[in-house]
Amino acid sequence: MPLTDRQIRSLKTPEKPKKVSDGAGLHLLLTPNGSRLWRFSYRFAGSQKTLALGAYPHVSLAVARQKRDLAKGQLVAGIDPSQQQKVEKAEAKIAHGNTFGAIADELLKKETREGRAKTTLDKKQWVLSLARPALERRPIKDITASEILAVLRKVEAQGNYETARRLRATVGQVFRFAIATARAENDPTFGLKGALTAPKVVHRAAITDWQCLAGLIRCIWEYEGSYETRAALKLMVLLYPRPGELRLADWSEFDLKKAIWTIPAPRTKMRKEHKKPLPGAAVEILQDLHQLTGHRPLVFPSVSSPKRPVSENTMNAALRRMGFTKEEMTSHGFRATASTLLNESGKWNPDAIEAELGHVGADEVRRAYHRAAYWEERVKMSEWWAEQITSVGE
C-alpha cells in the first residue's frame, strides 16, 4: 500500500538497511544511521537500476512521487533517468562556473600568474567589487547591457565619472575573457562606451620651465627632512622614473659598477623589464644611501617596518613641506618635467627620450630597436641631464 507521512514519521531506525515501498518503483531506504532516503527502482536497456531522489523530510512524500513520475516519463521517452540526472548535475556545475563572479575570479588568478603588480590587482579587485552585488551570481551569458548600465549609473550618480569609466572597462575585460574561454559570445559593454559621462581630464602637476625647476632643485638639495627622503627626491629629478618604480626598488636591481638600474617587468607600466643608465650623480647618491639601507633588500624601507617600502605619500608630502602645492608639482610630475625640457633642448632624438621614459609601444621589433639603438644616446643624455640638475643644486 502507498505510504503516508504519518506512517513515515512512525518508522523506527533499523539495525540494517531496510526498504519500505510506496509503490510503482518508489521506496524509502531506512539506514542504521537514521537516514531516510527516497529511491526509484527501474529497468533500462535490460539492466536493473536505482535513482536517488533525495532524503526525507527535505524531499517530502509528494515531491518524491513527482520525481518518480518524471523519471517514468523519461523512461517512456527512451531516456535513462540516472544518466539524465548526471547530465543535469554536470550542467549545473558548469553553470555555476560560468557566473560573472566565478569568471572575474579566474581572470584575477590568471593576471596574478602573469605577474601583474599587486597594486594593479588590488585596484581591479576593488573596481569589480562595485559590480559584484548585482552581477556576482548571474550567468555571464545572460547578463544584458541594461543590467551593466544600471550598475554604472549608480557609480555615476555619486559623481565618480572616472570610476564608472574604469568599471565599464574592467567588466568588459571579464566578458572578453569569458569569450576567449568559450563561455560568452559577446561583450555588452562595447555599446555602453558613449553612455557614460566623460570625466574631466586632470593632468598631474609638473614644473616645465628651467627657472621654476631651478627653484625646486635647490629646495630638494637643501631639504631638511630624512636623508632617505631627500635621496629619493634627488633620484626622482635625476632619473624621472615612475614613483612606484623607485619607491619599491630593491638593491639587487642596481649595478653601480656598470651604472645600470634594471627595473623588473612586474613593476613597469608596460610589463617589460626596463634598464636605465645611471649618471655619475645618481651613482654617488646610491652609494651613500647604501651605507644606510644596503643591509636590507629595499632601497627605501619604511621607518615603521623595514620589510615594507616607504609610503606612496612620502615624496608628495615632502614637496608640500617645501611649499609646493599639489597644483604645482607632484612626484609623478618629474617625468613630465624631464620629457618637456629634454625635448625642448633639441639635443636628443625624441625616440631616445621616449625609450628612456619607458614609453615603448607593443610592437616587439620597435621595442627591441628602442633598447639597442638608443642606449648610447640615453647614457649621454642622462649625464647631460644630471649636469643641468646638479649645477643648480650643488
Which residue in 276, 332, 370, 378 is the catalytic one? 332
Determine whether 242 is an active site residue.
yes
Nearest to 277 by CA among 390, 386, 349, 375: 375
Per the CB < 8 A criterion, the answer to whether 145 and 188 are in contact is: yes
Which residue in 275, 359, 367, 380 is the catalytic one? 359
What does the alpha-carbon distance between residue 246 and residue 286 come to, in Å, rounded to a whole number?
12
Determine whether 335 is an active site residue.
yes
For residue 209 the three cell numbers come to 620651465
The rounded radius of gyration (Å) of the Cα atoms in the chain is 33
Determine whether 359 is an active site residue.
yes
- According to DSSP, the residues that pair with 47 across neighbouring strands are 44
Determine whether 96 is an active site residue.
no
**3-class SS of residue 384:** helix
- Sign of the torsion formed by the C-alpha atoms of 57, 63, 69 and 75: negative
Which residue in 335, 370, 374, 378 is the catalytic one? 335
Question: Residue 379: CB partners within 8 Å, gap ≥ 6?
Answer: 277
- For the residues of 154-212, what is the DSSP string, one character each? HHHHTT-HHHHHHHHHHHHHHHHHHHHTTS-S--TTGGGGGGSPPPPP-PPP---SHHH
Q: Write b or e for each residue in 82-102: b if 16 or more Cβ atoms lie within 10 A of its Cβ, otherwise e.
A: beebeeeeeeeeeeeebbbbb
Per the CB < 8 A criterion, the answer to whether 132 and 148 are in contact is: no
Which residue in 242, 247, 370, 378 is the catalytic one? 242
Which residue in 49, 132, 141, 369 is the catalytic one? 369
Amino acid letter, residue 220: I
Nearest to 242 by CA among 331, 302, 308: 331
For residue 137 the three cell numbers come to 551570481
Which residue in 43, 269, 321, 366 is the catalytic one? 269
Active site residues: 242, 269, 332, 335, 359, 369
